[in-house]
Chain A
Amino acid sequence: MVTTPVIKNCSYCLVHVPDLVQYGSKPRREIIENPSSKESIAHSLRSYNKACCYPPNQTFVGNLSPDELGNIPRPWFENEALCSAKGKFGEILDQKSFYGLLKLADVLNPPLFAVDDTVLARLREGLAAHPLLAGFASRLAAIPQDVHDHSRQDPSRSSALAMRSEGKSCGWFYGDERAEGKGDDNLGPYTLLENLCTKASGALALTWLLHREKINPEKIDFLISCGEEACGDRYQRGGGGMAKAIGEMCGCTNASGMDIKNFCAAPASAIITAAAMVKAGLYKRVAVIGGGSLAKLGMKFQSFLEHGIPILDDCLASTALLISEDDGASPIIRLEPGAVGTVPAGAGFSDEAVFRHYLLAPLESLGLKCTDIDRYAAELHNPEIMEFAGSGDVASKNYRKIAAMAVLAKQLEKSGMNAWIERVGMPGFAPTQGHIPSAVPYIGHAMEAMNRGEIKRVMFLARASLFLNRCTNLLDGVSFVLERNPRL
Chain B
Amino acid sequence: MLTGKKVIVFGERDDISGTTVSTCLKAAGAEIVYEATACFV
Contacts and interface: CB of A to CB of B under 8 A. Distances in A.
Interface of A: 264, 349-351, 379, 381, 386, 389, 391-392, 394, 397-398, 432, 434, 437, 463, 465, 467-468, 473, 475
Nearest to B17: A349
Q: Nearest 8 A-B pairs (CB), nearest first?
A: A349-B19, A465-B39, A391-B40, A394-B14, A350-B20, A397-B14, A465-B13, A381-B41
Contact of A434 (B16, B37, B41): B41
Interface of B: 12-17, 19-20, 23, 37, 39-41
Nearest to A354: B17
A437 B15 contact: no
Nearest to A475: B13
Given A381-B41, A386-B41, A473-B19, 15 more contacts: A349-B17, A349-B19, A349-B23, A350-B19, A350-B23, A351-B20, A379-B14, A386-B40, A389-B40, A392-B14, A394-B41, A397-B14, A467-B37, A468-B39, A473-B37
A347 to B, nearest CB: 12
A428 to B, nearest CB: 10
Contacts of A463: 13-14
Nearest to B16: A351
A349 B39 contact: no
Contacts of B14: 379, 391-392, 394, 397-398, 463
A349 B37 CA distance: 11
A432 B20 CA distance: 25
Contacts of B13: 463, 465, 475
23 contacts: A264-B41, A349-B17, A349-B19, A349-B23, A351-B16, A379-B41, A381-B41, A386-B40, A386-B41, A389-B40, A391-B14, A394-B14, A394-B41, A397-B14, A434-B41, A437-B41, A463-B13, A465-B37, A467-B37, A468-B39, A473-B19, A475-B17, A475-B37
Contacts of B17: 349-351, 475
B19 A432 contact: no
A473 B20 CA distance: 12
A391 B40 CA distance: 7
A370 to B, nearest CB: 19
A397 to B, nearest CB: 5
Contacts of B37: 465, 467, 473, 475
A432 B41 contact: yes
A264 B40 CA distance: 12
A315 to B, nearest CB: 15
Nearest to A353: B20
A260 B27 CA distance: 39
Residue among B13, B14, B17, B20 with the most chain A CB within 10 A?
Answer: B14
Residue among B12, B13, B15, B17 with the most chain A CB within 10 A?
Answer: B13
A389 to B, nearest CB: 7
A386 B37 CA distance: 17
